[in-house]
Structure 1
Amino acid sequence: MKELRDRYQDQGLVLIGIHTTNGAEKMADFVKEQGINYPVAADIDKQTVTAFKVDSFPDYYVIDRTGKLRFADLANAELERAITTLLAEGGQAAPSNPWTDALADAQKRRKRVLVTTVDKAAQAELGAMMRKDRDLSQTLSFEYVRYDLHRSDEPMPTGHPAGLEAAGAALMVFDHKGVEVARAAWSDLRGEGGLVAEKTRAFLVKNAGAHPQAEEHFAAALARAKAENKRLLVHLGAPW
């Protein structure tokens, strides 16, 4: 594997090694002793083995530049041929999907996604309110990943969750898995003078995600560090 990396890395080959759950505590020492020159990760709770349906070891899986699995369950003799075949194809990476990017960002930052399905004038109204109301701005910044979907006469883009086409003008809250948590019609957040800050802020505060206790984070991180034979760095400070 080290030879393959050295031979093809300049052509675009990226290697990732996955160590089985059993014996994962010895992985770091083995990687160091063998001088392995590519990333190796521990398969916690057999998640990777299960996802790829691995039935024997070692096993090889080759993914192309678009992220599609092209070769699976390869024998040693077939590996280099599969690599050279895909490297010869060239091509471009798959286009980014803004919705799935928003969900991934929310999961990484432990937030929810706030979807606005309003026209540009309403977007400007919300933006103006945020500039005036510090509490509202901080709630949105600390608790949500914002995803603006401008209303127009054009067809709804693909890749969004079901229900947006019929949602009308609204604020909608989704969790990081894309499941709708709550929605508020835009008209319900308005008053005689326009958008009401108190109503908008109350909706955002009520539907923000729950924050795990520090003890829960510490216990989970400590367990992972032990399983991966690593040390644990604890940072104490403000969330921002």
Structure 2
Amino acid sequence: MVSRRKFLLLTMAGATAIATGKALELDEKKESELSKYEWAMVIDVEKCTECMKSRGGFGARPPCVEECAKANNVPRSEKYDYDLIRIYEVRVTEDAEPLYFPVMCQECEHPGCVQVCLTQASYKREDGIVVVDLHRCIGCRYCMIACPYNARRFLFEPPEEHLTVVNPEAPMRKHGVVMKCEFCLWKIDRERAEGKDPKPVCVEACPYNALIFGNLKDPNSEVSKIIKTSRVITLRANLGTNPKVKYKL
């Protein structure tokens, strides 16, 4: 005869198994949805250069940088540079006219940051976006060393000390963790669920239409067409990371 205690334990175990099964089913459905996408960005260097020159050149904060910081709860500190997008000035020769390259996380197909993460806080979704799980991140910064694009930032200070406005949709991080561009993941998932054509904040903020975002698995998307018909490069291509951020020259 089954005791009352054993009966309750069996009942609880059965309920947990059912709940777990449903959760796994939902996760698999979500992953299946994500597998339809391979998000990528093409950056028109000529247009970015025009934008930067109109603002005085190197050192200016164009709208893509400003709006990214506001929307993603990125603090502005006098001591540290936390911006998720950095603008690099490149000259072919010392006397040549400068070109300006916005550099954010390159969303690599083979991300070194994921490979070295001790706690699996950094992982890649099925749609190609590399994500930092803020609950798992222990701030060891191995991922920062492994990233060849200097795309990650370590929060040395509590971000709320330097935020004037908080976006409730975006992650609110704590100090002692690593953060990076995630293509405005919170916005991408919401707009995709709403049946819209999703775009990160930087893409919408650019007054020169220099940033083009879309799904590489859709041959009719603008990014797919540009990559097929234009001259595009990836940064540090020799490393074999295969970035999903590409630059049109």
The answer to whether TM tops 0.5 is: no
Greater length-normalized contact order (CA 8 Å, ≥ 6 residues apart):
2
Structure 1 or 2: larger helix share? 1
CA radius of gyration, larger in: 1
The TM-score with structure 1 as length reference comes to 0.24
The TM-score with structure 2 as length reference comes to 0.24
